Amino acid sequence: MPEHNDISPPELIADKGSLHPINHMKDSIMELLTSFGFETVDGPEIETEEFNFDMLNIKKSHPARQMHDTFYVENKSNLLRTHTSPVQIRGMLEKKPPLAFISGGKVYRKDDDATHLPMFHQVEGIYVNQNVSFAQLKDLIYKIIFSLFGDGVELRFRPSYFPFTEPSAEVDILSKEGKWLEILGCGLVNPVVLENCNIDSTKYSGLAFGLGIERIAMLKHGVTDIREFYKSNLDFLSQFK
């Protein structure tokens, strides 16, 4: 009999769980933005039309307000926020510039198919100060994208339209396969929005941006079907330790 009585038992592999990949992505982005100087603010998912639309210069006639795009609750007295921007409105009403907020969380739109879900996640940011320019917005966006996708990634800015920003832009990155993929929307805060929040738009200007968390998580993890995130399948979740 060989003398190996001091043999130690096999290593006990701790059965650790994992963060949800969407929450992990959201936390990572918010941590990154916090390191840039942004303050985290939080707000309710059930909002008023005033904060979700009116204050953001989204007119009564805007298609997003239709019953087929927005979930309304309690006899249309409130709605499920369609973006996290109302949180920033609340922040701007509470504090005076200079200010820099980020907010992240669940948002809701009346979509349900292979590429859209009625619930998804956003992180949005706003920075208001004197002489904030589009050129500065570009600098910030480069920093965000390079931090997320690496310094070598190629990106482009395209003119776009959001009622709450002017000028507005969408930003794409070039995938390994040579396809442009939309990553975020951004722009200079529309002066109407600043005025709605009692901020003198002749003195201050601002920049704002928003990222769809699912989209970035899909790209970073190589997930092709957005619905996988919400099946709570342990075979799926255990891959993100």
Partner 1 sequence: MKIAYRHLVQHIEESPSIENISNKLFQLGHEHEIDGDILDMEFTPNRGDCLSINGLLRDLAAFYTVDLHQEVCTEKLNELQLDFENLSENICPKISFLKLEIDQVPETYKNSLDNYFTDLSLNKNNFFTDVSNYLSYETGQPTHCYDANTMSGKLLFHEIKKNEEFETLLDKKITLTGKNSVFSLNDNVINLAGVVGGKSTSCSNNTKTVIVECAYFQPEAIIGKSVKYDIQSEASHKFERGVDPDCHDKVLSRFINLVSDHANIKDMSIISYKSKDNLIHQIPVNVKKINQIIGINISEKEYLNLLSKLGFVVEEGFIKVPSFRSDIKTQNDLAEEVARVIGYDNISTSKISIPNNERINHKAIENKLRFFLLDNGFYEVINSPFVNLSSEEAIKVDNPLDSNREYLRTNLTNSLVDNLLFNERRQKESVKLFEISDVYLSSNGINKKRKLSIIASGRVGENYKDFSKKINKKYLAILFQEILPNKVFDFKIISRELLDTKIKNEIVSLEIDIDKFPDDILRYEETSSPPDTFNEYRPISDLPSSIKDISYSVKDFSKIKELTNLLLTYQSDIVKNVFIFDYFKNEKTEEIKIGFRFVFQSKISTLTASEIDVIYNEIITKSLGIQGITIPGMKKNV
Give the footprint of partner 1 on residues 120-179 (CB under 8 A).
Answer: 127, 131, 133-140, 142, 156-161, 166-169
Taking the CB of residue 173, how many other CB atoms lie within 10 A of it? 20
DSSP state of 240: G
Taking CA atoms, 227 is separated from 21, 24, 53, 106, 221, in Å, by: 13, 17, 28, 15, 14
CA angle 62, 84, 58 (to 5 degrees): 20
Q: How far is the CB of 25 from partner 1 (least distance, A)?
A: 8
Task: Give yes or no for residue 205 binding partner 1 (CB under 8 A).
Answer: yes
Of these, 7, 150, 151, 179, which contacts partner 1 (CB under 8 A)? 7
Measured between its terminal Cα atoms, the distance across the chain in Å is: 42
Nearer of residues 93 and 234 to partner 1, judged by Cβ: 234
Q: Is residue 15 at the binding interface for partner 1, with CB under 8 A as the rule?
A: yes
d(C-alpha 163, C-alpha 58), whole Å: 6
Upper half-sphere CA count for residue 147 (Cβ side, 13 Å)? 16
Residue 24 interacts with partner 1 (CB under 8 A): yes or no: yes
2 is an interface residue for partner 1 by CB under 8 A:
yes
Find the shortest distance in angstroms from Cβ 43 to partner 1. 10
In the complex, least distance from residue 93 CB atom to partner 1, rounded to whole angstroms? 17
Contacting residue, 50, 76, 146, 175, with partner 1 by CB under 8 A: 76
Q: Judged by CB under 8 A, which of 38, 51, 53, 204 binds partner 1?
A: 38
